[in-house]
Structure 1
Amino acid sequence: MSDTPIAPAAERLPGNRKTSPKKIVQAIVVYPLLLLTTVVTLGPFLWLLSTALKTGDNIYAYPPQFIPNPITFKNFIDVFNLMPLWSYIGNTVYMTALGVLLNIFLCAITAYPLARLRFPFRNAIFFAMVSTMILPNAGGMIVNFLTIQSLGLYNNMFGVVLPSAISIFNIFLLRQAFITVPNDMEHSARIDGAGEFRIFATIMVPMIRPAIATVLIFDFMAFWNSLIWPVIILDDRAKYPLGPALKYLNSNLAFNFPYVAAGTIISVIPIIIIFLVLQKQFINGMVGAVKG
């Protein structure tokens, strides 16, 4: 029989565990640091929201008022009257949906063979693709513009989407997710007579839903906030997405900050909704990519 003394039952109860000094110190240091980070991160957004809810009279008040007094929602209504905002929102939804769907499809069918199939120079091809990530996006604008123009897609929404229809980072992320799928599932499907495309579509893709959700969030934010490239490709301002449209709103109403803030808040709301809906999948996708 072991001679190790057994602690009394009262000391072994979870409610009676003593908090170690190390955990107390961590709580004193970590929690205020997290709170400070939250304030710094949300500060600009909260100030923007505060500005959007102010009237033109109290925005220049001194000292600055963080909580509007009085609170007004008139700025959000006036923005729709000042510009065809619904039209710009429709353009943005179309551009974002087209870009996200193309990116997920093209990146998935590119990442799958790099992760699961055996062919010559597979790793060399992958490393060559990843190495292009060091190139700045602005460096390819001239080439992309000439390509889009030669394809006859100038002043066309598809010309805005095409250069970003595939992302090396997304290929890397999905490849890492495909690698984590157990080989037994693939072997079982092959024994049952499933072809390569069926394995890809019915087994592999459902298994990497968190990674696909991560790609969806990143691409949604990128396309929704796209600013410079649409201005270069689109000659007709009626086809502009929200980013360039709000930029011109800022130029025309440079001294009416509540209107500019209200338009910006409207453009941010869909991104917040998408992230809140997919945040669990997003976290799982990032963890899976790191493990892979």
Structure 2
Amino acid sequence: MPRYAPNQLPLTVPKRYFELRRGGLKGAAAARQVGVSVSCGSVWFIKAGRMLLPDKPIDARYLTQDDRIAIADGVQAGCSAAAIAAELGKHRSTVYRELRRGRKADGSYNPWWAHNQAILRRRRPKEEKFQASKALREFVNDKLQQHWSPQQISRQLARHHPDDAALHACAETIYRALYNGLLDKRTAKLRTARTRRRKQRRGIPLKNAIPRMRLIHTRPREADDRSTAGHWEGDLIIGKGYASAIGTLVDRATRYVHLIHLPHGWKAPQVRDALAEQTAQLPAALRRTLT
């Protein structure tokens, strides 16, 4: 097994040491329990930077401390980032980013130090980028006045300031800043002139959608040119005070009107059932389509 500790102990030993420290034990007591000297434990502690605990549970999709230990193991063994990712069951981009962000100034990768840095990055609340950076606000305001889209602005920021993370903003961050009033409302506007976000309903079925609904422009051409009988147009007439209603069917070719009695109400299910029952006696040739 690859080694990763000042005294070449297996990784399970410092891992247990840090678990005990996070559990509340002092450094000397934790060192005694794992069978190392106090100075060895102190070296681990110093290299890790400090002992941090997440303020809330971390979602499983993020790297854990064990994942970072496995990454350090793989780096020590000379494995590629892609091979390490395959072993962890993560995307290789996750490991590439972790190695880029988690290395110390000397280029080494310490899993405990990297884990502490990840906890620091996750701490909330964070100040909004657009509140903290006047230069970023002015740049985005200027581009929005020129009718640039947030996506274009995001790419331009990354291109012009590749090494300054404070001047990077993804398109979603720009949208949020615009809708939350962090940009100049008088001049910073979208090309669509929209000032509020539309409701996001991706993957959520519409409650009022008709199953297998066909749009009106898909009906047969003979219904449009009124050349053949049997293509009907339906409507609903509601009486005074919503006390009564009646359905109407008009044949597009002959202009024949058929009234639909609605004794049980005029909600969609009742109208559907009444239509089916009261048009069943029509010949099949006269029951082609209904709009």
TM-score (norm 1): 0.22
Give the number of the structure whose residues are more often helix, by fraction: 1
Give the number of the structure whose residues are more often strand, by fraction: 2
